[in-house]
Amino acid sequence: MTLLTDTVPDLKALLLEKSVRTGTFTLASGKESDLYIDCRMTALDPFGAALIGDMGWHAVREQIVADNLSIDAIGGMTLGADPISLAIGMASARQHPDEALQVFTVRKEPKGHGRGKQIEGNFSEGNTIVVVDDVITTGGSTLKAIDAIEREGGKVAFALVLVDREEGGREAIEARGIPVVALFSRSTLLD
C-alpha cells in the first residue's frame, strides 16, 4: 500500500508540471486570475490518477474515521470530479474492500430524454456521500453538485477537493454546513 507521505511530493510535482499555469486567465467565474489550474491533465494521466486515488482515499478514510462516518458513494460535477472520484473509489476497493465507495457523476443539467436523470452511476436515495471537485474558486460548481445530490435524497457528509484556490470557495461550502477537505491549496501547491 502506498502511504500519504510517499505520494505527496510526486502528486504535487505532477500537478505543477501538467496542470498549473501562470499568466493572465479568465476563469469560469468570469474573474481574472494570474493562476490557471487544469487538474484534468493530472487526473487523466495514469500515474496522476493512481496518486490521486491513494492520496484521496487516505484523506477520505481519515475523515471517515475521525468523524465516525459511514460513506456509501463518492462523486461530483462532471467532468472535473469524474476521474478523481473513480480513482478514489478504485483505491478504496483495493485498500479496504469492506469500505469500498461506489462512484457516480452529476450532470450539469438533467438529461432531456430517457429517465431525465441528473445523477448517473452508483447513487441511491438515502446514500451518504463525499462530494468531489477538482478545483474550487468560488465553490459554485461544488454547491451545484450538492444541490443536485440533496434534491435526489443524498446526504453530503463532506467535500473533497484536489486544489483549493483560496478565493472563498471553501468558506461558501462550509457556510452550508459541509466541511471541506483539500488535498492542496494554492499556498501548499505553490510554496
124-180 tens-digit pLDDT: 999 999 999 999 999 999 999 999 999 999 999 999 999 999 999 999 999 999 999
CATH topology of domain 53-190: Rossmann fold (3.40.50)
Burial environment of residue 150 by CB neighbours within 10 A (0 to 12, 13 to 18, 19 or more): middle
Q: What is each CA distance from 52 to 57, 118, 141, in whole angstroms? A: 8, 25, 20
Residue-range domain boundaries for the chain:
53-190
The more confident residue out of 155 and 114 is 155
Confidence of residue 29 (pLDDT cuts 50, 70, 90): confident
Residue 29: helix, strand or coil by DSSP?
A: coil
Cβ–Cβ < 8 Å for 189, 160: no
pTM of the model: 0.92
pLDDT of residue 27: 84
Buried/exposed code over 83-110 (b: 16+ C-beta within 10 A; e: otherwise)? bbbbbbbbbbbebeeeeebbbbbbeeee
C-alpha span between 133 and 137 (Å, rounded): 10
C-alpha span between 145 and 131 (Å, rounded): 7
Three cell numbers, residue 47 = 500515474
